[in-house]
Amino acid sequence: MSEDLDKIDWPVIIGQLSERFGDAFVPEVEAFLRRVKTERVLVACSGGPDSILLLLLLAGRADVLGLELVVAHYNHRWRGEASDEDAAFVAGMADVLDLPYVVGVRPENEAAFTETTARALRLDFLREAAAQHRCPCIALGHQMDDILETQLQRIARGSGTDGLAAPRPIARFDGLPTHVRPLLNLRSGDIRMALNAAGIPSKQDASNDDQSIARNALRGRVIPELIEALDRDPVAGAARARRLIEEDARALESVARERLPDAYSVKSQLARCALKACPRAITRRALSAWLSQHQLLSSVSGPAMDVLLDAVYGQKKRHRMSVGSDYILFEGDQLLIERASDAEPDRDLESSTLELGTSLLLATGAIMGLELIEVDQVLSAKILSGTIDQGAEAYIVPPKDTTFEVRSWQPGDRFHPIGAPGSKKLKDWFIDRYIPQRERKQLPVVSTSSGKIIWVPGFPPADTMKLSPTTKLALRLTYRTRNPTSLA
C-alpha cells in the first residue's frame, strides 16, 4: 500500500481538492483555526474517506492557517489483520505527507465490542495524544450525514438542546482539547466521489456493514426507509435543525449566565428562590453548570437531574440527594453541597476467591454461593423471561475457569449486563439505578481471573455469559444479605 501512495503526486492532488473544496470548511471552524496560528492540531484519521479528505484539506491549508499537524490513529483491533492494515495505511499517509504520526492500540484487557465502548476508548487515546504532542485542538472528520444519525440516537436517549446540537462544529471542554469538525457542510457521497475521481485510496471498515451496531442500522436501513416515507432527503433538514438548536442552546446559556451568575462560580451554595423564579430550562442549565464547577456533573444522570429539578420546584424545605460520593442539601432557601470527605469512609470489600461448590462470607455479613445446576424447562423459562430476582441470584454459562474473584468496585470498572445496548462504567450503572454511594461500596463485584466482570447483585449477569434456550447446565451465583432486599 505504501508503494501505491508513493506513486501519487500529492501536491497536485491536494491542490485540486483544495480548489474543489475551497469554501467547504464550516466558516466558524475556518475562523477558529486562523485564530490558533502556530498551534498544533491533532488530526484524527481512521483511514476512511471522511478523515482522509480532512487530512488532505488541512495539509493543503496548513501554511495559510499557520498550523502544525499531527496525525493520530486508533487501532481497535476489531478485525485482526484488517485493523492492522488500516493503521499501516494511515501511517503511510502521514509518511508521504511528511507529518508526525501517533498510533494507539486497544489493550488486551479492554473489551471494545460495542460502539459506545469503542468511541470512549478512541476519545481517551486522542486526548492523551493531544496532550503528549501539545495539541490544544483535535480535528475530526464528521460530515453532514453524521448529523442525522447522531440526532436519531440522541432523541432515543431523551437528550435536550445541548445533546441535539451535536456534533457541533466547535466543541469546547474545560481543561481538555477543543474538538473541531470542519467538514459538517459536506455530504458523505460527495466526499467519496471526490476521492474516487482523484484516485485517492481509503480504507473501508467491514464492520460498517454490521447491522447489529446501532449507527450502522440507522445508516443502512432506518434512514433509507425514512427518506422513502417522507419522499425527501432529511439530511439537509437535520443539519439546519442542528444549527437552529445550537442557536437556541447558546441563547439559553446566555440568559442562564445573566440571571443565575452564582451557578457559574465556585460557590458551594445557591439561592433556591432565584432558581425557582426562572423557567425550568434556565434552571436546568444553571444547575448543570454549578455541578460542573464542583466536578459533580458526571455523577448526575438525566433522570437524576429531573429529580433534582423537581425538588427545586417542590415544597419540601429540607431534602438530601446523593450526587456521587457527595450530597446536595436543601436547607430552607439554600442549596448546599455537602462533601463526604470529612466523614469516615466505608471500608471496601476485601478481595476474596469464590470456588465452585463453596460459600463465601463477606465482611459485610453477606454470603455468596456458587453451584452447578441442571436447567430444566421451568427454570429455563424463568431465566429467559427475566423474572429472576437479580439482587439475589444469577445464572451464567459455565466458563472453563469456575474460580471467581469477589471484590468491591473500582474506578474504571466497565460492565455489559444482559439486555443493555453496550458496556459502560459501573459507576454510571450505579448512578442510573440511584444506588447510594455507601451502598455501592458494599456491593460485591464478581469477576473472572482475567478481570472481566460477570455479575453485580442488582443487575443481570454479563451479556457474554447469558444462557440460551438449549443450555442444560448453568452456574448459579447467589447473594444473601443479613436483611435481604432486592437491588433490581
Name all domains of the chain by residue range, CATH numbers in brackets.
2-236 (3.40.50.620), 260-338 (3.30.465.60), 352-480 (3.50.40.10)
Which three cell numbers, joined as nine digits, stand for 485? 432486599
Contact 373, 473 (CB under 8 A): yes
Rounded CA gap, 66 and 243, in Å? 28
pLDDT tens, residue by residue, 330-352: 888 999 988 865 444 455 677 88
pLDDT tens, residue by residue, 173-197: 888 999 999 999 999 999 999 999 9
pLDDT tens, residue by residue, 90-131: 999 999 999 999 999 887 665 555 666 778 889 999 999 999
pLDDT tens, residue by residue, 45-104: 999 999 999 999 999 999 888 899 999 999 987 767 888 899 999 999 999 999 999 999
Query: Residue 486: what pLDDT?
Result: 33
Taking CA atoms, 403 is separated from 109, 406, 419, in Å, by 18, 10, 25
pTM above 0.85, yes or no: no
Taking CA atoms, 460 is separated from 82, 358, 393, 395, in Å, by 34, 22, 9, 9
Partners of residue 354 on adjacent β-strands: 404
Return the closest-CA partner of residue 270 out of 278, 258, 261. Answer: 261
pLDDT tens, residue by residue, 377-430: 888 888 887 788 888 899 999 988 888 999 988 888 999 999 888 889 998 888
